A and B are shown apart, each in its own frame.
Chain A
Amino acid sequence: MELVCPAGGLPALKAAVDNGADWVYLGLRDSTNARNFAGLNFDEAALAAGVAYAHARRRKVLLALNTYPQAATWARWTQAVDLAAAKGVDAIIVADLGLLDYAHRTHPKLKLHLSVQGSATSHEAINFYHQRFGVRRAVLPRVLSLAQVENVVRHTPVEIEVFGFGGLCVMVEGRCALSAYACGDSPNTMGACSPGHAVRWEETPAGLESRLNRVLIDRYAPGERAAYPTLCKGRFEAEGATYYAIEEPASLNTIEMLPEFLRMGVRAVKIEGRQRSPAYVAQVTKVWRQAIDSLTRDAERFRPTPEWMAALNRHAEGSQQTLGAFSRPWK
Chain B
Amino acid sequence: MKIALGPVLYYWSRTAIMEFYAGIAESPADIVYLGEVVCSRRQEMQLEDWLELADALAARGKEVVLSTQALTEGAGDMKLVRNVVHNGRFRVEANDMGAVSLLAGTEGWVAGPHLNIYNPQSLAFIMELGATRWVAPVEATREIARSVLKAQPLEAEVFAHGRLPLAFSARCFTARRFNLQKEGCEFRCIGFPDGMPLKTREGESFLTINGVQTQSARVYNLMQDLASLQEAGVTVLRASPQSQGTGDVLHAMRAACDGAGMPAASKDDNWCNGFWHARPGLERAA
- Smallest beta-carbon distance B128→chain A, Å: 9
> Interface residues of B, CB < 8 Å — how many?
71
* CA of A175 to CA of B96, assembled, Å: 10
CB contacts under 8 Å to A, within B148-205, are 148, 150-151, 164, 166-173, 176-177, 181-183, 196-204
* CA of A219 to CA of B77, assembled, Å: 39
Q: Does A264 contact B (CB under 8 A)?
A: no
Query: A237 with B78: in contact, given A96-B116, A176-B166, A331-B172 (CB under 8 Å)?
Result: no
Central interface residue in A127, A144, A246, by most chain B CB within 10 Å: A246
- With beta carbons under 8 angstroms apart, the residue of B119, B123, B201, B214 that contacts A178 is B214
Query: A98 with B116: in contact, given A172-B168, A215-B200 (CB under 8 Å)?
Result: no
Contacts of A238 in B (CB 8 A): 177, 196-199, 209
Contacts of A184 in B (CB 8 A): 274, 278-281
- With beta carbons under 8 angstroms apart, the residue of A101, A175, A239, A329 that contacts B125 is A101
* CA of A92 to CA of B139, assembled, Å: 26
Q: Are A188 and B119 in contact (CB under 8 A)?
A: no
Q: Are B201 and A151 in contact (CB under 8 A)?
A: no
Q: Are B139 and A241 in contact (CB under 8 A)?
A: no
Contacts of A74 in B (CB 8 A): 119, 121
Contacts of B125 in A (CB 8 A): 97-98, 101
Q: Are A331 and B206 in contact (CB under 8 A)?
A: no
Query: A245 with B71: in contact, given A125-B98, A128-B100, A189-B118 (CB under 8 Å)?
Result: no
Contacts of A241 in B (CB 8 A): 177
Q: Are B171 and A331 in contact (CB under 8 A)?
A: yes
Q: Are A101 and B121 in contact (CB under 8 A)?
A: yes
Q: Are A72 and B70 in contact (CB under 8 A)?
A: no
> Interface residues, chain B, CB within 8 Å of chain A?
70-75, 77-78, 96-98, 100-102, 104, 114, 116-126, 137-139, 143-144, 147-148, 150-151, 164, 166-173, 176-177, 181-183, 196-204, 206-207, 209, 214, 216, 274-275, 278-282
> Interface residues, chain A, CB within 8 Å of chain B?
68-72, 74, 95-99, 101-102, 117-122, 124-125, 127-129, 142-145, 147-148, 151, 170-172, 174-178, 180-184, 186, 188-189, 213, 215-219, 235-239, 241-242, 245-247, 325, 328-331
